[in-house]
Structure formats: C-alpha cells, structure tokens
Amino acid sequence: MTTTTAENPAESHVFEADVARLLHMMVHSVYSDKDVFLRELISNAADACEKLRYEAIATPALLASDPDSRIVLTLDEEGGRLLVEDNGIGMSRDEMIEALGTIARSGTRAFMERIEANKQGEGAQLIGQFGVGFYSCFMVAERVDVVSRHAGADNAWLWSSDGKGGYSVSPIDISEAPARGTRITLHLMDDAKSYTSRWSIERIVKEQSGHVPVPIRIADKPGAEPAQLTDGTALWTKSKNDITSEEYTDFYRGISGQYDEPALTVHFRAEGRHEYSALAFIPGSQPFDLFDPDRKGRMKLYVKRVFITDEAELLPRYLRFVRGLVDTADLPLNVSREMIQESAILSSIRKGVANRIIAAIEKLSESDNDAFLKLWEAFGSLIKEGIYEDFERRTQLMALSRFRTTASGEEGYRSLSDYVKDIKEGQQSIYYLAGNSLEQLKASPQLEGFRARGIEVLLLTDSVDSFWVTNAPEFEGKTFKSITQGSADLTQFSKVEQGTAASETAPAEVQAFIAFAKEKLADQVSDVRASDRLIESAVCLVAPEQGYDRQLEKILQGAGRLQSGAKPILEINQDHPVVKAVAAKSDQPSLRDDAAFLLLDQARVLDGDKPADPRAFAERLARLMERALQ
C-alpha cells in the first residue's frame, strides 16, 4: 500500500473537465463492454513502453539497467484488486496532472505533437491517448491509484481518485514505486471481483490485447513470480515464409472460435498511401452466426497491434463469412474509436482488403476447382449478395459465381462464362428459373420447351438469386431473362428431341376453348394463351412481361413488401390430350367451366402454390370424376 508523509501531504485537485459527465459517457455511451478497461490500460502501458524506446534512441542510458519492455498483471483476489504495471517511460508530477487530470489533452498527444514539430516520423507510429481511455477503469473500480516514476528520475508520485469529481497527487518514497514506469491499482467494485480470476484475465488479454508489441506477464498474487502470457510478437507481422500452416490454423481457431481448418488464408501487407497488415481466413464450414439478421462482419480492427473493435465494417457485408483482422498505424486510438468506420482511411483500407480477398478466391477457382467448389457451396449464396449490393465489383463477382443448370449434371456447376460460350446461335438472353429447391425446379413445366430445344437454363435456389438477376443488366452482352415471366419466344429455336413437334396453329376448337377460359378466368389471370414452352404438361403460370417474375413476387409478398401480386398469365399446351378432349366438349358448358378452373388450379399446384379455393377445387374435381365414372 502506498503512503504519503506529513512532510509531503497529498495535493487535492479538481478535474478541469466535467468528470461526472465524462464518466457517464465512458460507461454508458462509449463502451458497451466493461472488459474494455483492461484493453485501455494495456494499450496505455504499451504506449509508455513505445515512448521509452523512442527516448532511448537519444538517451540509451534510460534502458541500460532494464532493456526489455514488459507489462505485468497482478491478481489480488484476497484484497479485491487488480494491478497493471509497465516499465515504460513513466510520469512526473506535472505529466500526471496533465495526462490524468485534464480530459482530451493527454501526455501521448502532447508527445506526438512534439515529435511532429521536430519532423521526426517515428513518433507518428505511437498509439493511444493516455488519459482518455484510462477513465474506463472507473467502470469496474471504486478507487484507482496510479504510482509512477519517470525514467531517469529520482522521485515518484501517487495519483489517486474515486472518479467523483477530483483527485490527489502526492510524492511517495521511491521504494514503493516501480524502478521505472507506472503501476495502476484498481480497487474493484463488488460486482467486478471476477477480474481477479486468472481465467477471466487471460481470456480478455488473448482476445483483445494478445498482440500488443510488448510481452505481457501475469502473477496470481502480489509477490508471486509472474508467468508469460504473451510474447509481444504479432503473427501477422511475420513474413508468410516464417509461418507454418499449423500456426495459421491455431490463430484462425482462436480468432474465429471455430475448430475446422480454414478453406483459404489471405495474409498480406499493403504499402503506399495507407499502410496496414491484413490476415483473413475463409472458414472451412459455415459459422453458426452466418445468417444473423445484423449481417455484420467479423473482422477485428487493430491499431499498432492493439485491438480496437470488431464492428468497424472492414469488409462489405456479403463477405461477412470472412474471419480475421486488419492492423494499421494510420488510425488514432481515441474516444471516438467506436465511430471509426466513418474514417476515409478506413474506407480505403476496406476497399483494399475486399479486393485482395476476392482476388484470392478467384485464384483458388483457377488453381483448385474442388477446393473452390467446396467454398462456393458454403458461401456462394453470400457472394451472390455482392452482385446485388456491390456495383463496383458486380461483373467480377458474376464471373466468380457458379450455378446448377440444366446442363451441369447431377453434381456439377457451371459459370456464366461457360453458359455464354455454349449459347445457342441467335440467343440473346441467359435464361433462369428461380425457386425453393433444385428438385422443384427440375420438375417445373416451364422448363419443358427449353429442355426440348437444348437451351440451358440456370436453376436458382437461393433467395438472393431473385434479386441479383434483376439488378444485373447483362453478362458478356447477354441479358438475364426469367422463364416464368413474359413470352418465351422459343419458335426461333429448333427442337433437338424427336417426336415433340407441336402444331404451329391450334385447332379451331382449342382456340375457342382458350378464348372461353380467358373470359371465364378474367378475374384471376391477366391472359390465357397458347404456350410454346410446354411439351408434356397441360398448363403453367407465368408472370406478365412487366413487373416481377413468379419467385420474386412470392418472396416480396412473404416478406410483407408487396400487398398483392400481378395477375399471372395461364399458358395452355394446345397439343395436350386433356386440353384437346376438353376443347371437344363445346356442347357441355358446365364441364368446360369446371375444366377451366381445374386447369388453373393445376397450374398453381405445379408452381408450388395451393388452389385458390380448396373447397371449390374439391367440388369441381368430384364432379369431373363422377362424369368420368358414369
């Protein structure tokens, strides 16, 4: 316990800033997680060590007796205390008052301004603003004592406060102070005593400060020999040639919370206008929180190896499956760090990291197709969100995407380039069919005419597919067209299957029935017409040329974003035996009525819907069966 003497009484000071308001902001507005206090204290301690390293360039004697920087965390469960000590530059009395008694005017900031005035660039690498984040410790401590001895000084000082309006500064005997540097003692609140638990402290350090450039040690009790917790070396600062795959995997598992192998590792250092290191991993399997509604990324931001936040939106949201971090010295550590994503510097970093990750995925697709397809099966649906959201990289992402198609086989995938390369002569569109499952799409009646003519159709089963195809104007000069919307216009293409030739003109009785059905069903469909896309089925539904295709309309209605859909078009296969048989019954109006409504409900069922009126459907079906049985 530190003491003062009668000859050297404590000096009482009032905070120059409105500390009560500041503390309220720190506790309730700036930081949402109390664990952050330890990050701040470690950050400040590492900063102090960095300052000393710089000062020692001109004054080597400052490091002569103790050359190795360190941070020591001491747990005092019995006393309800946590101690954070460093052997950095330390503080004099005036520096203590300046750094800890004046808000937003810190020792580090003044130090950096001095370096800039001297035009010596190394100071710009320093981190932190001592005296701002420091106050976060009052989230967990009812009193904080700071003992410091400036490097090379023969005196030491004690700063003490309960954070309620003022503080005291007093000299103390140097025997009670570190030989050099600062010791912060937190007298913990009753609900914060868990911070004397070694497990808790180790977890926080490894998660938030495990890669500061100063080794961290931990002691289980005062006076105990501290054990090394971190070695002060950040993995991402090493050369890729010096890192084993096992080390990458271990780091990936620690940062992602997963236990699989990474599917892809992207590690690079950017130099130029902005300098930063990035280490990113694409997981080998889908993370459990992949489809959380917040769609936030899970990349961590470090500044000079000090963890800042994992909510900085370091990647576009469609790359939220990527895990990893970015470390830069171009951003400051200050009170507004939670809003740091608005920084123009971060925007530039975000663009660079996204470009490198997408380029790495492209390279994988070219070098190892099997590994790429495994990645695609896990995260392809998210990458396709980028086609919808990322205008700048849309063409790049479209080229990267893979699809099941009517030509891809049972397990295969095709790219859009593959599709365009094999496109039919005269074909101006890339045709697609969107739905809920591959099995449903393969059984769709709308496919029949395309299959008969050997025209490839993309089979799209992800919800996002219905959005990006409407947002992507073209690919290699070919537009996208849903086969469930508008006319198929397939008459220009010859059928490749034998025995499927259809009548060019419907028989008169069929034409009459189509006209009859159009009138009878006018309140439920916008049109009834002969189809050139049906081969085996009697009927199908398609959407009008303008508006949404059938699947997108269903998605929007299900999400409450569309009150009512457009009336569909009922297409009738003029060569189907049932249609011909019904058309021939022109002398039985009641049968034709029932048949028209039953064909419409049949088309609805084939489209994955229910009959509009199940009771009426059942009654019509019963009447038709009765006629057949008679």
- On the 0-12 / 13-18 / 19+ scale of CB atoms within 10 A, 209 is buried
Q: Is 20 a residue whose pLDDT tops 70?
A: no
Task: Report the amino acid identity of residue 378.
Answer: A
Listed in sequence order, the DSSP H helices in 453-588 are 465-471, 508-520, 550-558, 577-583
Measured between alpha carbons, how far is 339 from 326 in angstroms, rounded to an integer?
A: 16
Q: Give this prediction's pTM.
A: 0.70
Q: Categorize the per-residue pLDDT at 124 as very low, low, confident or very high, splitting at 50, 70 and 90.
A: very low
pLDDT of residue 176: 94
Measured between alpha carbons, how far is 273 from 285 in angstroms, rounded to an integer?
A: 35
Proportion of the chain above pLDDT 70, given as a percent? 87
- The CATH homologous superfamily for domain 11-230 is Histidine kinase-like ATPase, C-terminal domain (3.30.565.10)
- What is the pLDDT averaged over residues 272-300? 85
Closest CA to 322 of 303, 338, 293, 299: 299
Q: Is 117 a residue whose pLDDT tops 70?
A: no
* Structural domain spans, the chain: 11-230, 235-368, 401-629
Parallel/antiparallel/unpaired status of strands 429-434 and 479-482: parallel
Tens of pLDDT, residue by residue over 493-531, are: 877 754 444 556 778 999 999 999 999 999 999 999 999
Tens of pLDDT, residue by residue over 69-114, are: 999 999 999 999 999 999 999 999 999 988 887 654 433 344 334 4
In CATH terms, the fold of domain 235-368 is Ribosomal Protein S5; domain 2 (3.30.230)
In CATH terms, the fold of domain 401-629 is Rossmann fold (3.40.50)
What residues are paired with 269 via a beta bridge?
277
The answer to whether 34 and 192 are in contact (CB under 8 A) is yes
Q: Categorize the per-residue pLDDT at 22 as very low, low, confident or very high, splitting at 50, 70 and 90.
A: low
Q: Which residue has the tokens 């490091």?
A: 63
Length of the chain: 630
